[in-house]
Amino acid sequence: MYDLPPEFHFGLLGWKGKANETWPDVSLRSQIPPYPGGLNLQHSMEYWLTLDLLLSNTANLERPCSAIRVKNSSQADVIFVPFFSSLSYNRHSKIHGKEKISVNEMLQKKLVQFLKDQDEWKRLGGHDHIVVAHHPNGMVDARKKLGSAMFVLADFGRYPMEIANIEKDIIAPYMHLVRAIPSSESLPFEKRPTLVYFQGAIYRKDGGVIRQELYYLLKDEKDVHFAFGSIRGDGVKNAGQGMASSKFCLNIAGDTPSSNRLFDAIASHCVPVIISDEIELPYEDVLDYSEFCITVNSSNAIREGFLLNLLRGVKQDKWTKMWERLKEIVHYFEYQYPSQPGDAVDMIWQAVSRKASSIRFKIHRQKRYNRSQLMVNNDLNEESY
């Protein structure tokens, strides 16, 4: 992990260390600046991953390490870039006063220049670097220049395929905003009076127009809650209570293919119904979402009667099996400090490891042919001489 100046990471949280101090003392919780709440939290994985790497170098470590920070980059499988890009976008993307560019754009320009100057970047053209850009608008000025790196993203909705794709990049879960329901409090089928639950922004653009079509189809059904909602006031608390008392929770594409609503549903043990044709899901190479989610393509979802007939046809025993599986996998989506085996941080590092292996394989194959061609060229040059 690069020792970037604090302006790229904890300085964005207001942390000011002593002279020449790059990182807070992560062994003391009181020294770790908190991440801002509200909607900021859903894209906070940059924070948790950085803390995890810092903690891996702390004495008397009490957690099994999925990822360990090494001091010599030649020993590293991957190189982590600790830029809090989502926070930078959320907090510093507007121009103030006499500024010609925003702080967010300035930091991206400085980051690109820094990375391009590093021997570690030049060695493999950045292919072994990890850049976290979970907010859909994060890294918008730098993503093309750093497109060879492995991105940690929410989805591919605002990226061209040549810059971000499932072959090289990681899809990470949003941090859920509702309270995680303990298994002991999770309501069974017969105690969940609402069949279908959705609360959020209804009128969206692009692929999100399906929300308003579903709203007009479902809003008057007696066992359906489909309403506008926001995080203001008790919005998150109410949404959590509504999900926890519903059998199925809709995850419908919005301005982008993904949203934190899927992970709120998982945390509430409410069987998710995914209606988003372009969505990519975290850890899908090791996790079978069909065991605890129902996926419906958009064209079927907006057929009158289709969605409700499908969900009303799910019998109690089938729903219960999915509910039980939800309770088994919910910890895969929990961000916490210190990280624990099988939590979101651990699962992301495991995904990085799998991706890094395939990237090394591809690079080694390319080198094999490049070296063979170089040998041929050398032989030809010697003969001509």
Residues 198, 306 within the same domain: yes
Answer yes or no: is 211 within a domain. Answer: yes
pLDDT confidence of residue 376? 58
Please give the order of strands across the beta sheet that includes 271-275.
224-228, 194-200, 246-252, 271-275, 294-295
Answer yes or no: is 125 within a domain. Answer: yes
226: part of which helix (H) or strand (E)? Answer: strand 224-228
CA angle 127, 129, 135 (to 5 degrees): 110
Residues 16, 160 within the same domain: yes
Say how many domains are in the chain. 2
Answer yes or no: is 105 within a domain. Answer: yes
Other beta carbons less than 10 A from residue 54's beta carbon:
20
Q: Which amino acid is at 231?
A: I
Q: Compute and round to an integer the Cα radius of gyration of the chain.
A: 23
pLDDT confidence of residue 384? 47
Per-residue pLDDT of the chain (385 residues; tens, 9 = 90+): 999 999 999 999 999 988 889 999 998 888 999 999 989 999 999 999 999 999 998 877 666 678 999 999 999 999 999 999 999 999 999 998 888 999 999 999 999 999 999 999 999 999 999 999 999 999 999 999 999 999 999 999 999 999 999 999 999 999 999 999 999 999 999 999 999 999 988 876 665 688 889 999 999 999 999 988 777 778 899 999 999 999 999 999 888 899 999 999 999 999 999 999 999 999 999 999 999 999 999 999 999 999 999 999 999 999 999 999 999 999 999 999 999 999 999 999 999 999 988 777 777 777 776 665 655 566 655 554 4
Answer yes or no: is 375 within a domain. Answer: no
Residues 308, 347 within the same domain: no
Domain encompassing residue 154? 6-174+336-363
Cα–Cα distance for residue pair 313/305, rounded to 1 Å? 12
Residues 131, 202 within the same domain: no
Cα–Cα distance for residue pair 266/248, rounded to 1 Å? 10
Cα–Cα distance for residue pair 266/249, rounded to 1 Å? 9
C-alpha dihedral, 317 to 323 to 325 to 331, nearest 10°: -170
Residues 300, 314 within the same domain: yes
Cα–Cα distance for residue pair 25/13, rounded to 1 Å? 15
pLDDT confidence of residue 228? 85
Specify which residues 352 forms β-bridges with. none
SS3 state at 28: coil
Residues 355, 314 within the same domain: no
Cite the beta strand spans of 99-175 per DSSP E. Answer: 129-132, 150-153, 170-171
Other beta carbons less than 10 A from residue 174's beta carbon:
23
Answer yes or no: is 380 within a domain. Answer: no
**pTM tops 0.75, yes or no:** yes
Residues 217, 282 within the same domain: yes
pLDDT confidence of residue 17? 87
Residues 231, 93 within the same domain: no
Answer yes or no: is 377 within a domain. Answer: no
Cα–Cα distance for residue pair 348/154, rounded to 1 Å? 12
pLDDT confidence of residue 63? 66
Answer yes or no: is 153 within a domain. Answer: yes
Q: Which amino acid is at 294?
A: I
Burial 60-98 (b: 16+ CB within 10 A, else e): eeebeebbeeeeeeeebebbbbbbbbbbbbbebbeeeee
pLDDT confidence of residue 205? 63
Cα–Cα distance for residue pair 262/242, rounded to 1 Å? 14
Q: What is the 8-class DSSP label of residue 6? A: G
- DSSP string of 164-217? S-TTT-EE-PPPP-SPPPPGGG---GGG--EEEEEEE----SGGGGHHHHHHHH
Cα–Cα distance for residue pair 368/209, rounded to 1 Å? 49
Specify which residues 295 forms β-bridges with. 274
251: CATH: 3.40.50.2000
Residues 192, 233 within the same domain: yes
Of 20, 23, 3, nearest to 11 by C-alpha is 23
Q: Which amino acid is at 295?
A: T
Structure tokens at 121: 């970047």
Cα–Cα distance for residue pair 119/310, rounded to 1 Å? 56
pLDDT confidence of residue 21? 93
pLDDT confidence of residue 322? 98
Other beta carbons less than 10 A from residue 272's beta carbon:
24
CA atoms 152, 154, 155, 160: torsion sign: negative
Residues 61, 162 within the same domain: yes
End-of-domain residue from the set 330, 348, 371:
330
Cα–Cα distance for residue pair 187/177, rounded to 1 Å? 19
Answer yes or no: is 102 within a domain. Answer: yes
The answer to whether 83 touches 68, Cβ cutoff 8 Å, is no
Residues 234, 116 within the same domain: no
Cite the beta strand spans of 39-134 per DSSP E. Answer: 79-81, 129-132
Structure tokens at 156: 């591919």
Residues 206, 120 within the same domain: no
213 phi, psi to nearest 5 deg: -65, -45
